[in-house]
A and B are shown apart, each in its own frame.
Chain A
Amino acid sequence: GAVVSQHPSWVICKSGTSVKIECRSLDFQATTMFWYRQFPKQSLMLMATSNEGSKATYEQGVEKDKFLINHASLTLSTLTVTSAHPEDSSFYICSALLPGQGRYEQYFGPGTRLTVT
């Protein structure tokens, strides 16, 4: 159980274009999902917390107008990188919070490797 998928697994786009990444919880409903970014040889950096039916909460320094997050259902959150630039090239990983009294386990999707040329 607790399977999270992400699509696409990798994407190459031209500078100035937008890219949408989907994150789905396959066998449970996730009220809360998280979006992370990871650069090579570095740890995970939380970008934003996505709550179903409400606006996402962004971490300090993350541009909300550039990284659009939508959590329209209990199994789907999307991250859109708008007007992508080469410095946005990174490994983007989502996670979903497994619901349950007193449980705070996050299960990660397989990640999306974004390359902006």
Chain B
Amino acid sequence: QKEVEQNSGPLSVPEGAIASLNCTYSDRGSQSFFWYRQYSGKSPELIMSIYSNGDKEDGRFTAQLNKASQYVSLLIRDSQPSDSATYLCAVGSGSARQLTFGSGTQLTVLP
């Protein structure tokens, strides 16, 4: 059974702070890792993908992957109230290209 674990939160940070979201996964054969943002009542939106160990930066977002520790994280710098949403960690493995989603972390950025 492939599992993806996230802290459900809620996580609250003040505006301008760094928000740190964490995710662990059980399948050592996992090859692709994604962070999606989902606003209430909306569908998920892809914000970051990472395939190899290390950091990947895109604007205010940085994804970090450590395959040895089976750990992936997302940092959001200069958090804004518009970043308030549920963040879903998703992990892909195998040729089926299916994703296993975590239950999501609810982030609130306080003005």
A interface residues with partner B (beta carbon < 8 Å):
32, 34, 42-44, 46, 49, 57, 93, 97, 102, 104-111
B 70-111 contacts with A by CB, 8 A:
88, 90, 92, 96-99, 101-104
Number of B residues near A (Cβ < 8 Å) is 22
Asked whether, in the complex, the Cβ of B99 is within 8 Å of the Cβ of A106, the reply is yes
B97: which of A32, A43, A111 is its contact (CB, 8 Å)? A32
Q: Top 9 closest A-B pairs, CB basis?
A: A111-B43, A104-B32, A108-B43, A43-B103, A104-B92, A93-B43, A44-B101, A108-B44, A43-B101
Within 8 A of A (CB), among B22-40: 31-32, 34, 36
A34: chain B residues at CB < 8 Å are 98-99
CA distance A93 to B88 in the complex (A): 15
Assuming the contacts A107-B46, A108-B45, A111-B43, asked whether A49 and B96 have C-beta atoms less than 8 A apart, the reply is yes
In the complex formed, the residue of B with least CB distance to A59 is B98
Distance of A93 Cα from B41 Cα, bound (Å): 11
